[in-house]
Every structure is written in C-alpha cells, then in structure tokens.
C-alpha cells in the first residue's frame, strides 16, 4: 500500500471532527515523545550525578569548547538548510529542495567528522569511557546522539536521492521532508542542551 | 475514492508476500499470536523446571537433569523475561491489538502497514536473541527479569557474560518493536476511524490498547537509557551502576521500575479489554458505565507513572519516598476497583451464556480480584517490609499477570478464533481447558501465598538451609503437582486450536450476535476488511435494548432501528 | 499541512541569525569571568531560548494543534518528575 493510497484513504475516512493530524506527522511526534524520555532520562541522570559528585570540573576541562561550539554552529545551520528544503518543496521548487537536502546531509557529515576528531584526540590523551564518571556520561550521551545524527543523515540522503531522481515528488512523498525535518530538528535541540551540559559547565 | 480503495485491495500473489512478509494487519496479528504461543512453551517449560526443583531439590528433573544454584537463577530469569516480554506483550498487544484495532474502528488496515511488518520481524529477531542467549558460553542471563545491578553488571557474581549482553540486546529490540507498534496503534485510532466512529463509540478494547500504547511509549525511554548504561558498564568499563567505580545500583532500580511498573499495566489493560468485550456479549447486556471505565482507564494509565518506587521500599532508597509512593499506590487501586466493579455490574442480572470465552473472562475477573487486593498489602510500605522478596509477591503478581494474560488471552482466543480463522472451536474441549486451567492455577498459587506470609523468601533454589521453611515443603509439592496439571491441562487447548482449524464448523459472520464492527464482515475478513467502508450509527454495547426486536443491534445499524435479519 | 505555508525563507534565516547570536552569547558567558552560578544561569537560559526557537519556528509547534503540544509536553513533565524523585537518592545519599 503506497503512501498516496493511504493519504487518499485518510481523506475518505474523515471522522468529521476538526482537521485531523496527517498520519505521518502524528507518528513522528509520538516517536519524538518517546525519544524525549530516552534523552531526558540520560540528561537528568547526568545532571544529578554531576551535582552529587562535586562538578567534575577537572575531568570536564579536557573537552574542547571550541570544537563543541563549532559543532553547534554546524548543527544549527543544518536545521536552517533542512527547513529551507521543506519550504522549497512546499512551494514547488524541487531542485532547490534537493540542494538543501544535500547541504543538510553534508553538514551532518561535518558534525560527525568534527566529533570523530574530538573522540580521536580524547582517546589518544587517555580519556576513554572508563576514565571517570564524567567521561562515561560524555561518551554515552554524545555516542547516542551521534547514532541519532547518523540515522538522520541516512534518511535525509535517501530523501535527497529520491528528490533528484524525481521519485520523491511523483510518488507524493514530499511530506516526508517534513517528517525527516521534525526528527532532525529534535536531534538539533538535544545537542543544544548537550553542548552547554558537557562543554560549558 | 472507491477506485483508490479498490486498487489497494488486491491481495499479494506470492506465498512469501502473503504469509511471511505480509503488511496485512490480520496476518501480522496471527504471526504475533503464533510467536507468543511458541515462546509460551519455553515459559511453561521453565516453570516446570523451577517448580520441580523447588518440590524435590535433590532429584534430577525428568526431561532435563539436575538444577543447582548456578543455573536456578538463570531459569527464573528466563521464565520472567520470556513470559512478560515475549509472551504476554506479543499475545495481548501484538496479536489482539493488531487484529482488532483496524477492524473495530472500521479501517482497512493500520496507518503504517510496512512499519507493522517491521515491528513483527524486530520482535522475531529479539525472540531469537533471547533463545540464542540460552546456548552461549556462560549460559543465559541470571540476574532476574529485573536485572538488578551489580548482579547483572559485574560478571563475577553470576559467571554470565554473553548471556546477559544478549539479554540486554533482546529486550532493547523488543522495546523498539513495541514502540513502533504502539505508534501505529495510536495514529491508526486517531486517523482511520470510519465515518460515525467517534472516540466515544470505540469499543473498550480499543481504548485499552491505546492507553497501553501511550503508557509504554512514555515509560520505556529511561530504561533504554539504563540498558545502554548497563551494556557500557559490562563492555566498556564504565561504572554507572557499580559502587566500586563510583556508580549507584539504586539508579538502575529507579530506571528499571519507572518503566517496569507502567509495563505491568501495559499488559493488564488489554487483558481487561478482552474481558470487557466478552462479558457484555455473553451477558446480553451493555457494559456498565462505559464512560466511567474510559476515564478510569486513563486515570490508571496516568497514575501508573507515579507508583514505581513501591518496588523499592526495602532497597535502601531514601525512606522519605516511602509515604508518597504508598499513597499513590493505594490510590491506583481505585480506578482498577472501578473497572472490576463495573465488570461485575455488567454481568449482574444478565442472560448469561456460558461459552468457553465467557468462562475464561469470568475466571479472569475472579482471579484478578485476588491479585488486586493482595497488591494493597504490598503497596503499603509498612506491610511490604515484611512481604517484599517473599512468595507472597510471587503469588500476587501471578494472580494479576496470569489472569490478564492467560484467562483474558484465552477468552480472546475462544471469542475471536471464528473471526480469525473462519472456524468454530470445540466448546467441550474449551470448557475442559478452562476447568483444568482454573483449578490448577489456583492450586499453584494459594499455597505460595501461605508460604510467603510465613516468610518464605524468593529466588532460592531450594529451602533446606532454613529450618523454618522445612514444614512448608508440602505446600511446595502441592504447587508443583498443580503446575504439572496446569501445563498438561493446556493440551486440550492445543488440540482444539489445531484441529478446529481444519475440522471446526465453518463460522458465520457473527456467530456470537455481537455489535462491534469486526462482526459486520465475513469470518475471516476479506483483504481490506470490509467490502464497503462501514458507517457507524451507534454505541458498541446496545444489547437487550427495550423494545427492539432482537437482543443485539450492530453498530452499523442505522437509525431508526430496523431489524436486520440474522440468517443464523 | 496548511500551518506552515506562509513562512518565507527570510523568516527562517532570521531565526538562524538569532540562534548563532545566542550561541555566541552563551559561549561568551562561559569564557568571561562572571562567577560560576551566574554563568550557568545565563548559559542554560540561552539554551532554553535556542531550543524553543527551533521547536516553535522550525518544528512549527506554535502553529500546531493542541494535541501536538500535549504529545511534546507529557514526556518533558514525566522526565522532570523522574529526575526530581531521583534527587534524594542520587544527590543526598551517595
């Protein structure tokens, strides 16, 4: 069953109540709700542990705030390119949408690249997950976040190829950019909190 | 718009696409059902081993061999893990939820059919992982289904290495599977209801499944975080839960039970949902207090997030948490009491038809009540101090989980088997099955209430180290004999299930004369569920309406009511 | 899907400018010698503002219906509740 059939189906089976939420969007928001619980649990635990164990200032001093800030800039910009891709697709500018999707993918890869540089340097200096509680939390939070970034990059790349080949538009799947965007912005918001928590505290 | 639907309604041609990698919710539901029943064999077999060991500790277990302290804990871990995550959830949510939600709301499938298929195969993979974990060096996880740290965290305590890691992966994958499934349920019910199917006309089963989906979705996150932490502790040398590395074992307990408690309601609510569908139909009466039951269900779902530390009263957590959590736990008994009383009121004064499904629904209601009231003693911190970690707890949770999963689940099978498979099950075998199940279930766990009250601790591979337990050994023997009886008593069900598939009487559309939408189509439903999209005109429980010419009125019967001739 | 068609690209770029400016301000607060407590308050306040900009304007939460707010708000409340209950055990009883 293709999405377009389902879209037609939804329109047919309208319950007569106020304009309902398109299924894809509702699904993504429910998914994000569960993700908030995952990251919320991690972040909450981290904050409490850090307060309880004296602040970990020494351990935390070894992360590079410069690289962290740069990565924040990269991710925030990728959110811009993502929303511009969505806006372009909504106004029928398909080429432009594809370009912005590509930019988002590239910025995401840049983020991962900078993260890898950080990890490499930190591991070389002997800071591994078992080096202390701060490092355990640092690696689990940035690691899980990085996995989410990777997933988002893959999905955005798939959309990009669909956009350039035209299958994204002809199959009526343009609204997938919105769903991918919601996910991508969420991952950005998580980083907006991880950055000060890990780098500026 | 008709062409859109007609176009979508060609069943796939190849065997693989039709029965293996199907996106049809009815096929997927049956896959979940089959998987859960297969895993129940493992769950039941572990129960047999555990109980034999407890009754006759010095003997080798027939069909297995000796059990000692080194593998007893692995057995109870596998029993709990398999039964909750790989039997109860697939059975009640994956099986019945998937089959019924689209049908009951008048949709032709779930909102995300391919995601639905993916969810099943994720669970299949998870089940394979948990089975595989039983064969790796070091054996399967042995830290209990609750996997407390540092027992689960530091391999020196159990000697288990790969088994515990696979346990973590299997459970995490199971979580992901039901997360996807839950999202599917919620969006489907939100968006794909047939014209006239308002939220307040949905059958209670749907409300239960939806509440379970939301509760699961919102509770599982912190444990996913915790599971990742545990995996890192075990593989990367971190110390989130290890005091010797600066961590806190209590953190694991909080993260686990924050999910673990809502989880038991995720299992219980759909079980109630099944009972709430069966009871009115075989009483020929509407449910008592439909709206009140919906509000109670939602209240129970909300409260379920506020009670978790009642599992931790004696864990060494801050004692100031004991009172608030006792209060919330006693509070949560209120909505469940409402549901139970409403169920009784539903049946009261009805024209009861004692079908197998009805027996199981009634039996489930009765046994659940025992589980519910014994929970009150455990929910209050003062009494829990004495009862925690004893067989009283074991009996309590079996008197809640077993009724909803098995009495409820079997009621569902006997009730919806005709719809699923187009055949009627044998009622005589069904009643024999009920008799054995009911008698032996009670015979197992009432003795365990007694030993628990007398202080019998849990998770002991045998009782000989404690003099005060020796006089109670006969109770354990009774429980074990009853366990064997219970397991053998499932044979009529297995025979019935299989034989009816081929030799059962062909089922009509609506053999039980029920109102809900799944009965307004053929048995089994066609690809696409309904030949014409149904329109809903009335509530789901209009039975024995005064002045009507028959004692049931389908939800699709238009106003004013004109009797639709029931051919049978 | 009509909630978002009226935004021009420029509006989104403007939000981005704010986000970058806030990023700069937060980093500055970290670097300047303004006392730990004050710095943390400023830094996390800024993080909240940045997050709400992304959520309201990029995820269009401000123009979505109530149900989405509920879906987004519930987990936040629950996660906060969990953290609060953990305080006695994690912070005070290590």
Under an 8 A CB cutoff, do B237 and A8 touch? Answer: no
Chain CA centroid to CA A65, Å:
20
Q: Which domain range does residue B145 map to?
A: 19-520
Min Cα separation B192/chain A (Å): 6
Q: For residue A51, which residues of chain C lie inside 8 Å, CB to CB? A: 91
Interface test with A, best of B238, B244, B255 (most A CBs within 10 A): B238
Instruction: Return the number of CB contacts < 8 Å for B and C.
Output: 35
pLDDT at C48: 95
- Tell me the shortest Cα–Cα distance from A91 to chain C, in angstroms: 8
Determine whether the interchain pair A5/B217 forms a contact, defined as Cβ–Cβ distance below 8 Å: no
Nearest C-alpha neighbor of B86 from the set B41, B138, B147, B27: B41
**pLDDT for C94:** 60
Q: Which residues 102-141 in chain A show a CB within 8 A of chain C?
A: none
Report, as an integer, the average pLDDT of A82-90: 94
Clarify whether residues C16 and C40 are in a common domain.
yes
Strand partners, B506: B423
Roughly what angle, to the nearest 10 degrees, separates helices B249-281 and A23-52? 150
Contact C65 A18 (CB under 8 A): yes
Residues A65, C55: C-beta atoms closer than 8 Å? no
Quote the minimal CA–CA distance from C87 to chain A in Å: 7
CA atoms within 13 A on the CB side of B463: 25
Is the distance from CB of B299 to CB of B437 less than 8 angstroms?
A: no
Q: Do A196 and C47 touch (CB under 8 A)?
A: yes
Q: Report the pLDDT value the prediction gives residue A169, as an integer from 0 to 100.
A: 87
Question: By the CB < 8 Å criterion, does C87 face chain A?
Answer: yes
User: Smallest Cβ distance to C74: which of B218, B251, B318?
Assistant: B218
Between CA B429 and CA C64 the distance in angstroms is 55
| pLDDT tens for each residue of A95-119 | 999 999 999 999 999 999 999 999 9
Q: State pLDDT tens for residues B530-541.
A: 998 999 999 999
Choose between C44 and B565: higher pLDDT.
Answer: C44
Domain around C79: 65-94
CATH code of the domain made up of A35-199: 1.20.120.80
B472-482 pLDDT, tens digit each:
999 999 999 99
- Read off the pLDDT of residues B463-473 as tens digits, 9 standing for 90 and up: 888 999 999 99
Q: Is A44 on the interface with C (CB under 8 A)?
A: yes
Pair of tokens at residue A149? 């970034």
Test B236 with A129 for CB contact under 8 angstroms.
yes
Q: Which tokens is A165 given?
A: 């080949």
Q: What's the rounded Cα separation, in Å, for the pair B445 and B475? A: 10
The percentage of residues in chain B with a pLDDT greater than 70, rounded to a whole number, is 97
Instruction: Answer yes or no: is B238 within a domain.
Output: yes
C76 and C38 in one domain?
Answer: no
Please state the rounded mean pLDDT for residues B371-386.
Answer: 96
Three-class SS of B159-205: CCCHHHHHHHHHHHHHHHHHHHHHHHHHHHHHHCCCCCCCHHHCCHH
Q: Looking at residue B563, what is its pLDDT?
A: 53
Give the closest of B192, B238, B251 to A45, CB-based.
B251
* pLDDT: which is higher, A15 or C75: C75
Q: Is B61 helix (H, G, I), strand (E, B) or coil?
A: strand
Q: Is B202 left (phi over 0), alpha (psi -120 to 50) or beta?
A: beta
Q: Are residues C49 and C94 in the same domain?
A: no
Q: What is the pLDDT of residue B14?
A: 87
Provide the phi-psi class of B534: left if phi over 0, else alpha when psi is between -120 and 50, else beta.
beta
In angstroms, what separates the C-alpha of B306 from chain C's closest C-alpha?
Answer: 9
Report DSSP state, residue B534.
Answer: -
Measured distance CA(A7)–CA(A29) in Å, rounded = 18
Question: What pLDDT does A172 receive?
Answer: 76
Q: If we measure between CA atoms, which residue out of B211, B212, B242, B217 comes closest to residue B229? A: B242
pLDDT at B185: 97
Q: Which residue has the higher pLDDT, A149 or C4?
A: A149
| Banded model confidence at residue B287, pLDDT cuts 50, 70, 90 | very high
What pLDDT score was predicted for residue B417? 98
Does A195 contact C at CB distance below 8 Å?
Answer: yes
- The residue among B368, B389, B241, B262 whose CA lies nearest residue B315 is B389
Q: Beta partners for B543?
A: B552
Encoded tokens for B412: 């569902």
Tell whether C53 is within 8 A of chain A (Cβ). Answer: no
- Residue in A with minimal Cα distance to C1: A22
Which of the other chains make 3 or more beta carbon contacts under 8 angstroms with chain B? A, C
Q: Residue C16 is nearest to which of A76, A90, A195, comparing CB atoms?
A: A76
Q: Domain check: are C9 and C45 in the same one?
A: yes
Number of domains, chain C: 2
Average pLDDT along chain A: 89
Name chain B contacts of A23, Cβ cutoff 8 Å.
111-112, 187, 190-192
- Average pLDDT, integer, range A29-44: 97
Distance separating alpha carbons of residues A198 and B540, to the nearest angstrom = 54
Reply yes or no on whether the pLDDT at B7 is more than 80: no
Would you state the pLDDT for residue A3?
A: 40
Q: Is the pLDDT of residue B428 over 70?
A: yes
| Domain-embedded: residue B526 | no
The number of domains in chain B is 1
Q: B263 — contact with chain A (CB < 8 Å)? A: no
Residue A198 CA to residue A49 CA, distance in Å, equals 13
Residue A107's Cβ-side half-sphere holds a number of Cα atoms within 13 Å equal to: 22
Does A11 score more than 60 pLDDT?
A: no
Return the pLDDT at B95: 97
Lowest mean pLDDT among B158-172, B464-478, C53-67, C78-92: C53-67
Least confident of A4-18, B73-87, B120-134: A4-18
According to DSSP, residue A93 is labeled: -
Average pLDDT of the segment spanning B311-322: 95
Chain C interface disruption, residue of B254, B303, B304, most C CBs within 10 A:
B254
Check pLDDT > 50 for residue A17. Answer: no
Q: Residue B125: what are its φ and ψ, rounded to 5°?
A: -65, -45
Q: Is the ipTM of this complex over 0.85?
A: yes
Same domain? C51 vs C26: yes
So what's the pLDDT on residue C35?
Answer: 83
B363-373 residue pLDDT tens: 999 999 999 99
Q: What CATH number has the domain bearing residue B134? A: 1.20.210.10
Do both C28 and C42 map to the same domain? yes
List chain A domain ranges. Answer: 35-199
Mean pLDDT computed over C61-79: 92
Would you state the pLDDT for residue B42?
97
Find chain C residues with C-beta within 8 A of B318's C-beta.
88-89, 92-93
- pLDDT of C2 higher than 60: no
The sign of the dihedral angle between the CA atoms of B26, A24, B91, B127 is positive
Q: What is the pLDDT of residue B1?
A: 33
Reported confidence tier of residue B256, pLDDT bands at 50, 70, 90: very high
pLDDT of A13 reads 41
Quote the pTM value.
0.94
Q: How far is CA B41 from CA B38, B435, B475, B495, B564, in A?
A: 5, 20, 25, 15, 44
pLDDT at C1: 42
Could you say which DSSP state residue B549 is in?
S
Range C40-52 average pLDDT: 94
- CB neighbour list of residue B28: distance below 8 Å, 6 or more residues apart: B22, B94, B98, B116, B117, B119, B120
C39 and C83 part of one domain:
no
Q: Do C55 and A193 touch (CB under 8 A)?
A: no
CA distance B113 to chain A (A): 8
What average pLDDT does the segment B207-211 reach?
98
In the predicted model, is pLDDT for residue B263 greater than 90?
yes
The alpha-carbon gap from A88 to the nearest alpha carbon of chain B, in Å, equals 26
Q: How far away is chain B from the Cα of A66, in angstroms, using its nearest Cα?
A: 26
- The whole-angstrom distance between residue B183's C-alpha and the CA centroid of its chain comes to 18
Are B97 and B187 a contacting pair, CB within 8 Å?
Answer: no
Please check whether residues C73 and C56 belong to one and the same domain.
Answer: no
Amino acid B500: pLDDT: 97
CA distance B167 to B159: 14
How many H-runs (helices) and E-runs (strands) does chain B carry?
20, 0
């Amino acid at each position: 069953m293709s999405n377009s059939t389902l879209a037609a189906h939804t329109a047919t089976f309208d319950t007569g109540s106020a304009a309902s939420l398109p299924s894809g969007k509702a699904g993504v928001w429910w998914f994000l709700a569960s993700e908030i619980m995952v990251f919320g649990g991690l972040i909450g635990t981290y904050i409490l542990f850090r307060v309880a164990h004296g602040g970990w200032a020494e351990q935390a001093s070894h992360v590079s705030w410069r690289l962290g800030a740069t990565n924040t800039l990269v991710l925030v910009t990728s959110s811009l390119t993502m929303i511009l891709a969505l806006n372009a697709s909504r106004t029928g500018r398909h080429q432009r949408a594809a370009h912005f999707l590509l930019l988002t993918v590239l910025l995401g890869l840049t983020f991962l690249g900078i993260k890898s540089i950080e990890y490499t340097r930190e591991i070389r200096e002997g800071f591994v997950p078992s080096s202390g509680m701060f490092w355990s939390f640092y690696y689990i939070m940035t690691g899980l976040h990085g996995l989410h970034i990777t997933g988002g990059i893959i999905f955005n790349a798939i959309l990009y190829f669909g956009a350039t080949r035209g299958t994204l538009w002809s199959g009526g799947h343009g609204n997938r950019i919105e769903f991918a965007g919601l996910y991508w912005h969420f991952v950005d918001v998580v980083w907006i909190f991880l950055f000060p928590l890990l780098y500026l505290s | 718009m008709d062409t859109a639907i007609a176009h979508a309604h060609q069943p796939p041609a190849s065997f693989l696409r039709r029965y293996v990698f199907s996106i049809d919710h009815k096929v997927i539901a049956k896959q979940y059902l089959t998987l859960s029943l297969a895993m129940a064999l493992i769950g039941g077999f572990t129960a047999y081993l555990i109980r034999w060991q407890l009754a006759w500790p010095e003997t080798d277990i027939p069909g297995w061999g000796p059990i000692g302290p080194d593998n007893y804990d692995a057995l109870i871990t596998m029993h709990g893990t398999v039964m909750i995550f790989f039997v109860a959830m697939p059975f009640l949510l994956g099986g019945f939820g998937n089959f019924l939600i689209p049908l009951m709301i008048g949709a032709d499938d779930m909102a995300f059919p391919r995601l639905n298929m993916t969810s099943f195969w994720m669970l299949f993979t998870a089940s394979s992982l948990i089975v595989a974990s039983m064969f790796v060096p070091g054996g399967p996880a042995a830290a209990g289904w609750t996997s407390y740290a540092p027992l689960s965290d530091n391999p020196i305590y159990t000697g288990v290495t790969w088994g515990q890691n696979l346990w973590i992966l299997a459970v995490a994958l199971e979580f992901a599977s039901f997360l996807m499934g839950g999202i599917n349920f919620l969006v489907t019910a939100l968006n794909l209801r047939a014209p006239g199917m308002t939220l307040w006309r949905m059958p209670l089963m749907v409300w239960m499944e939806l509440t379970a989906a939301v509760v699961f979705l919102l509770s599982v996150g912190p444990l996913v975080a915790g599971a990742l932490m545990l995996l890192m502790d075990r593989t990367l040398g971190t110390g989130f839960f290890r005091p010797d590395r600066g961590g806190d074992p209590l953190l694991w307990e909080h993260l686990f039970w924050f999910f673990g408690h809502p989880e038991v309601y995720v299992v219980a609510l759909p079980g109630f949902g099944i009972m709430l569908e069966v009871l009115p139909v075989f009483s020929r009466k509407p449910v008592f207090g439909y709206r009140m039951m919906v509000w109670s269900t939602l209240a129970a779902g909300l409260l379920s997030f506020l009670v978790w530390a009642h599992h931790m009263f004696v864990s060494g957590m801050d004692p100031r948490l004991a009172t608030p959590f006792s209060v919330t736990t006693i509070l949560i008994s209120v909505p469940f009491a409402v549901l139970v009383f409403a169920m009784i009121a539903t049946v009261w004064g009805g024209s009861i038809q004692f079908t197998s499904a009805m027996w199981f629904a009634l039996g489930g209601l009765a046994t659940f009540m025992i589980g519910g009231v014994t929970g009150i003693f455990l929910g209050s911190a003062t009494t829990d101090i004495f009862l925690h970690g004893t067989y009283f707890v074991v009996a309590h949770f079996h008197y809640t989980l077993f009724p909803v999963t098995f009495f409820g689940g079997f009621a569902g099978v006997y009730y919806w088997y005709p719809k699923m498979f187009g055949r009627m099950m044998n009622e005589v075998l069904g009643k024999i099955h009920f008799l054995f199940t009911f008698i032996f279930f009670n015979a197992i766990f009432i003795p365990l209430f007694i030993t628990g009250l007398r202080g019998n601790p849990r998770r002991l591979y045998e009782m000989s180290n404690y003099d005060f337990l020796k006089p109670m050994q006969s109770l354990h023997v009774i429980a074990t004999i009853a366990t064997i009886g219970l397991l053998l008593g499932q044979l009529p069900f297995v025979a019935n299930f299989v034989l009816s598939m081929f030799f059962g009487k062909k089922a009509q559309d609506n053999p039980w004369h029920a109102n809900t939408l799944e009965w307004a189509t053929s048995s089994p439903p066609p690809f696409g569920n309904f030949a014409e999209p149904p329109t809903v005109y009335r509530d789901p429980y209009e039975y024995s309406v005064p002045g009507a010419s028959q004692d049931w009125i389908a939800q699709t019967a238009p106003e004013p009511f004109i009797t639709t001739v029931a051919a049978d | 899907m009509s909630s978002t068609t009226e935004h021009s690209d420029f509006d989104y770029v403007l939000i981005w400018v704010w986000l970058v400016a806030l990023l700069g301000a937060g980093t500055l607060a970290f670097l300047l010698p303004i006392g730990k407590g004050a710095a943390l308050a400023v830094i996390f306040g800024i993080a909240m503002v940045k997050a709400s900009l992304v959520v309201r304007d990029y995820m269009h939460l401000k123009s979505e219906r109530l149900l989405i707010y509920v879906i987004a708000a519930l987990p936040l409340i629950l996660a906060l509740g969990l953290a609060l209950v953990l305080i006695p055990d994690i912070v005070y009883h290590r």
